Structure 1
């Protein structure tokens, strides 16, 4: 293989005073740290359920405080019209009423909202943010105009009006951090601009009351920001506790559903063989077949099969308990996988014949050595083979393949039966669950086999998976690490 010569590009000269890579990296890292801090403090990213609650809480408070805001605006308009200028008061009051109309209309629309996706919740949050920008702009414009008409003075009314608005936002707008942040930034901007503009016009000495006014404004801003953080944290703590309660409720509900499935499946699987055993023993006890030993033997065979079925059910439950408690023991040894598969096929041959199913094995001639527990591996293979037999159509073949693929060895069990519907993976590998869990299902079982098989293969460093097409059949695959 030939390689092309590497031509280094000529180094570019950097203009004096231009920012180098280290300076850009510093600005980038500072920006990332600020973004992470804001995201951690405000938690701008949230789930659909949480964001929906935030939006609804915000809207609820907005509508509840409607008449209180109207009273404040009316009183402020009267003071402005009487002491300053009537036209300015009317203009600013109408501007605020327009923003109130938009805010109330949007809030009422959200009240009728039936909930939805995260995208829809974000859209309503963004609309509320736009509405909040409008109403905040109306307030700061009002305060700014009044301060301008006052000239160089203490600006008590506009500054107090802005302080009250900021405190009102801290107490009542903490449900949506973006809205709270935008309001505080806009209020703080005008709050600082009013005393700073007076200082820049007069340039007074530090002993002037104008400087004292600026320092007081900074102190008040710190107080408002601190109040906002406190209320925001309290609200977030409440949301966190609500999320924890919701998760606990979901866990309890899931546990209840598993318990219900357990009782339903186990009672069904116990009742059927027990009824058959009791019936067979009852017939033999009456002596009805004393004169016909062949029929008596047939009844005993049926009772024996059902007792084996009960034993398998109990073994599955015990294995599940061992797995969940971490007490499942394994006796690993070097085994020939092909021989293990052949043994499982021989053990399942009579069961396959009752369903009219034949096995076809495709395997390499050489030995395929794996590190495994013989009994547990037989348990997994027997489960896959019995499922393939039960869900195949009479007269079909079940194909079993042993395949070497890189450093892994695969055992594929393919049937040509009814197949598995899409999106059924949780039911296939779930506890006490079956794809067809109705009382009319044609095949029994606890729904534990594949769940246990998956845990056993995980302990072997392998896995169980499947592919299926409804109406055409399924292929279950187990894979191991290959031992050279």
Structure 2
């Protein structure tokens, strides 16, 4: 019986790809950390070599200065090679890892031999504080910054720990002191410090592995979010455009019928035709809002700016809103003198903002309520205020009031109609003009919205 040939190799290939992805991130992180710490290493090694020359032997200091310079140059070239590559093939990755292993062995061995040479120059009666301090510091430095690869960290710590143990063990071997001697105490102290180093290395290894897993999960979630966002954008664009074509035909036909172009409609049908006309207008506005949101999310909002008299624009918007307000039993008062409040803006978009604010104010006002529109001017901005005497904005909704599709009354049998897009679109339009929109509200007493846009010089 033939065994399936594709399952096992594909599974192994996926595993290799996953491991390679993680290792590539580890390698890049390791190279970036190594590159950032180059200056620190140079200062530490130069200081140690200078002290060695002053207090012990300049020949030894000079020899190890050349050896450490070679190791740092080799490591720096390896790090730059990794960082400059945008992608790493498996072959190149293996070559980079080999260079990493070679650099680790060379640098750790050089530092260890340097410290052992200092200890030999000191003799057996000093306690070897200086070379042991250098080796312990190098081990801690490795545990903190070389935790990306278990093998690399293990190789470096193995070399350092061997050197740390060699120094006190050599003293014991050469002197052969009694157990009460401080030479033995130095050895026991070294063993204690090694336990601390191993625990530190383990802690950084575990922490980095957890960080890498979180990073992988975050990147995967980011990709899913981008895919969902792109799907939503394409869906909105497609649906909006597909709706606009038949809706334009329906609206055009209804407008012609209601205007009497095809003859007077029967009285029994007129109410239904008027209702159909109003609802086709609402659908047209909704499609336009969806298209604007899609363009705004994609950063493609185009503004046809011109010099505008905001007082005239506010009066025109109030006149357009009056029939809607009268059906709700709401009156609108306006204080907007012409030739005083000038801005640079897109007339259609600014008018859309004012209409949104007015319709919201009328919709949420109580029966026989009043909506007041006024304008003011500061040193830099023109402000438009729309104040109503409606239900107000409840606590907890302040941060959500400008979100898409948010509605104060979101129940299935809600009292107030609307899509929840008006304020979100208004905010985007005002911010695209470099302005801002805010509100002040009191439950049961009403709400005041303020649109502020930078003032412009009067038009000649």
Query: 2:309–2:338: 8 Å Cα contact kept in structure 1?
Result: no
3-state SS of 1:335 partner = strand
2:425 to 442, 445, 452: 452
Alignment of 1:78-477 (within 5 A): 208=177, 210-240=181-211, 245=217, 293-364=266-337, 366-477=339-450
3-state SS of 1:429 partner = coil
Using the TM superposition, give the Cα deviation of residue 335 of structure 1 relative to its aligned residue in structure 2, in angstroms: 1.1
Using the TM superposition, give the Cα deviation of residue 226 of structure 1 relative to its aligned residue in structure 2, in angstroms: 2.6
Using the TM superposition, give the Cα deviation of residue 299 of structure 1 relative to its aligned residue in structure 2, in angstroms: 1.5
Report the Cα distance in structure 2 between the residues aligned to 1:324 and 1:398, rounded to whole angstroms. Answer: 32
Q: Is the alpha carbon distance of 1:305 and 1:465 closer, same or farther for their aligned partners in structure 2, counting shifts above 3 Å? A: same
Report the Cα distance in structure 2 between the residues aligned to 1:433 and 1:252, rounded to whole angstroms. Answer: 24
Q: Is the alpha carbon distance of 1:462 and 1:251 closer, same or farther for their aligned partners in structure 2, counting shifts above 3 Å? A: farther
The one-character-per-residue Cα deviations of 1:67-121 (angstroms, maximum 9, x if unpaired) are xxxxxxxxxxxxxxxxxxxxxxxxxxxxxxxxxxxxxxxxxxxxxxxxxxxxxxx
State the match for 1:139 in structure 2: none
Report the Cα distance in structure 2 between the residues aligned to 1:469 and 1:328, rounded to whole angstroms. Answer: 34
Q: Is the alpha carbon distance of 1:470 and 1:300 closer, same or farther for their aligned partners in structure 2, counting shifts above 3 Å? A: same
The one-character-per-residue Cα deviations of 1:442-483 (angstroms, maximum 9, x if unpaired) are 122221211111111111111111111111111111111122
Query: 2:365–2:389: 8 Å Cα contact kept in structure 1?
Result: yes
The one-character-per-residue Cα deviations of 1:183-230 (angstroms, maximum 9, x if unpaired) are xxxxxxxxxxxx9xxxxxxxxx98856343344345434432332222
Query: 1:337–1:369: 8 Å Cα contact kept in structure 2?
Result: yes
Q: Is the alpha carbon distance of 1:422 and 1:344 closer, same or farther for their aligned partners in structure 2, counting shifts above 3 Å? A: same
Using the TM superposition, give the Cα deviation of residue 247 of structure 1 relative to its aligned residue in structure 2, in angstroms: 9.9
Report the Cα distance in structure 2 between the residues aligned to 1:309 and 1:377, rounded to whole angstroms. Answer: 19
Using the TM superposition, give the Cα deviation of residue 419 of structure 1 relative to its aligned residue in structure 2, in angstroms: 1.0
Q: Is the alpha carbon distance of 1:291 and 1:415 closer, same or farther for their aligned partners in structure 2, counting shifts above 3 Å? A: closer
State the match for 1:179 in structure 2: none
Query: 2:385–2:448: 8 Å Cα contact kept in structure 1?
Result: yes
Q: Is the alpha carbon distance of 1:424 and 1:216 closer, same or farther for their aligned partners in structure 2, counting shifts above 3 Å? A: same
State the match for 1:201 in structure 2: none
3-state SS of 2:199 partner = helix
Report the Cα distance in structure 1 between the residues aligned to 2:402 and 2:175, rounded to whole angstroms. Answer: 77
Gaps of 5+ in 2: 1-142, 144-167, 169-173, 258-262
Report the Cα distance in structure 1 between the residues aligned to 2:175 and 2:420, rounded to whole angstroms. Answer: 83
Using the TM superposition, give the Cα deviation of residue 233 of structure 1 relative to its aligned residue in structure 2, in angstroms: 1.8
Report the Cα distance in structure 2 between the residues aligned to 1:475 and 1:248, rounded to whole angstroms. Answer: 44
Report the Cα distance in structure 2 between the residues aligned to 1:336 and 1:402, rounded to whole angstroms. Answer: 11
Q: Is the alpha carbon distance of 1:254 and 1:430 closer, same or farther for their aligned partners in structure 2, counting shifts above 3 Å? A: farther
Query: 1:412–1:475: 8 Å Cα contact kept in structure 2?
Result: yes
Using the TM superposition, give the Cα deviation of residue 374 of structure 1 relative to its aligned residue in structure 2, in angstroms: 0.7
Report the Cα distance in structure 2 between the residues aligned to 1:385 and 1:295, rounded to whole angstroms. Answer: 33
Report the Cα distance in structure 2 between the residues aligned to 1:402 and 1:291, rounded to whole angstroms. Answer: 44
Using the TM superposition, give the Cα deviation of residue 246 of structure 1 relative to its aligned residue in structure 2, in angstroms: 7.7
TM-score when scaled to structure 1? Answer: 0.48
State the match for 1:115 in structure 2: none
Gaps of 5+ in 1: 1-169, 171-194, 196-204, 285-289
Query: 1:427–1:435: 8 Å Cα contact kept in structure 2?
Result: no
Query: 1:424–1:435: 8 Å Cα contact kept in structure 2?
Result: yes
Using the TM superposition, give the Cα deviation of residue 331 of structure 1 relative to its aligned residue in structure 2, in angstroms: 1.1
Query: 1:357–1:396: 8 Å Cα contact kept in structure 2?
Result: yes
Report the Cα distance in structure 2 between the residues aligned to 1:471 and 1:380, rounded to whole angstroms. Answer: 24
TM-score when scaled to structure 2? Answer: 0.50
Q: How many residues align?
A: 265
3-state SS of 1:338 partner = helix
Query: 1:398–1:416: 8 Å Cα contact kept in structure 2?
Result: yes
3-state SS of 1:398 partner = strand
Query: 1:360–1:399: 8 Å Cα contact kept in structure 2?
Result: yes
